Amino acid sequence: MPTLTAFILAGFVGYAGSWILGYHEGNFALLMLLATVVSGVYWLLEKWIFLPRRIAAANALVQQETQRREQLQAQGIAQAELDLASARQEVLRQPWWLDWTAGLFPVIAVVFVLRSFLFEPFKIPSGSMIPTLWVGDLILVNKFHYGLRLPVLNTKITEGNPVQRGDVMVFRYPPKPSLDYIKRVVGVPGDEVAYLNKQLTINGQPIPKVALIDFFDEDSLSYAKQFSDSLPTGSDPTQMGTPKTVRLLNDPARPAFVAGADDFVFKDQCRYSVEGVVCKVPAGHYFMMGDNRDNSLDSRYFGFVPEANIVGKAFLVWMNFSHWGRIGRFD
């Protein structure tokens, strides 16, 4: 078992190391699942086989030593006392290969359950969601808000809350599902979303846009034009619910047309022009946009996000080491 365990641990280290070094695209959910299963098997073997064997060996040691002492005492022979308690503990002690497998199972299992079904941490890598989310924000994503999903397979197993316009959602990037993206839901299935001349329109209704004071980016030490949108909530085209105020950035120097859009699925549902784009959101898909409208790779470029790609709803900044005041909920 020690040799087999060494090979298994080396496999995990090799996979993680080659992923970090960029030799392949890793799958953390799969890695956590395998670690949970492997350590769980060792934990069961320890509980039902290895630990009972060590207990039996320790009891046999105590019994043999007791008998030896009685025999020597009957013969009147002086003896060097053996620290029986220490010897018993040494026999009961887990070997290294169980310590690194069965011993870690409770921790790995708790992390796996929390990350897969409850909350998952993410780090904001870009400025596409400024001013709502800044580069370096460490956020939490609610994994059960839209329904529980099986890890790795991402198959939905329970019904949750419907996706609403205005939700900040983490999803698997459609062209490369191994990457996670975060954007705001702008269009739900059946919506017609138009973004023309930097004016957002949903189902023929222009979204009110109000100028705010310029946003100061503390990282780049620059100002950007800031506005607020009153984005209607709702989960289908018939629901144009209570507006949600969303702060966003627009760069007047950037052109309105969308340059370099991918050849994505259902692209025939979109019409591109020099003014921007108009899209009809197909069933089971969502139209996503970044709050930093002129600095965001979103559905205008890579297309619609399928229901199966949903990871969860982002809701909390739990740390930003450069800006402690960022900690708190967001919407």
Domain boundary among the residues 62, 84, 114 is at: 114
Residues 6+ apart with CB under 8 A from 102: 39, 42, 43, 45, 46, 47, 94
Q: What is the mean pLDDT of residues 24-32?
A: 85
Tell me: pLDDT of 73 over 80: no
Higher-confidence residue of 25 and 132: namely 132
Domain boundary among the residues 88, 114, 140 is at: 114
- Domain assignment present for residue 119? The answer is no
Per residue in 302-321, pLDDT (tens digit) is 999 999 999 999 999 999 99
Total-model pTM = 0.86
Do 107 and 136 have their domain in common? no
Do 180 and 311 have their domain in common? yes
Do 41 and 89 have their domain in common? yes
Do 252 and 275 have their domain in common? yes
Distances, alpha carbon 97 to alpha carbons 46, 104, 158, 221, 297, in Å = 11, 11, 38, 52, 46
**CA dihedral of 165, 169, 174, 177, whole degrees rounded to 10:** -160
Per residue in 198-208, pLDDT (tens digit) is 999 999 999 99
Do 170 and 239 have their domain in common? yes
Task: Give residue 81's pLDDT.
Answer: 62
- Domain assignment present for residue 140? The answer is yes
Do 149 and 17 have their domain in common? no
Task: Give residue 220's pLDDT.
Answer: 80
Per residue in 171-229, pLDDT (tens digit) is 999 999 889 999 999 999 999 999 999 999 999 999 999 999 999 988 788 899 999 99
Average pLDDT over the chain, rounded to whole? 91
Evaluate whether 188 touches 235 at the Cβ level (below 8 Å): yes
The CA distance from 40 to 37, in Å, is 5
Q: What is the mean pLDDT of residues 153-162?
A: 90
Do 96 and 176 have their domain in common? no
Tell me: pLDDT of 80 over 60: no
Per residue in 110-150, pLDDT (tens digit) is 999 999 999 999 999 999 999 999 999 999 999 999 999 99
- Domain assignment present for residue 193? The answer is yes
pLDDT band at residue 26 using 50, 70 and 90 as cut-offs: confident
The domain in which residue 69 lies consists of 2-114
Residues 6+ apart with CB under 8 A from 146: 160, 161, 162, 163, 310, 312, 313
- Domain assignment present for residue 191? The answer is yes
Q: What is the mean pLDDT of residues 248-260?
A: 91
Do 318 and 215 have their domain in common? yes
Number of domains in the chain: 2
pLDDT band at residue 79 using 50, 70 and 90 as cut-offs: low
Domain boundary among the residues 90, 114, 138 is at: 114
* Residues annotated as part of the active site: 128, 183
- Domain assignment present for residue 176? The answer is yes
Task: Give residue 287's pLDDT.
Answer: 98
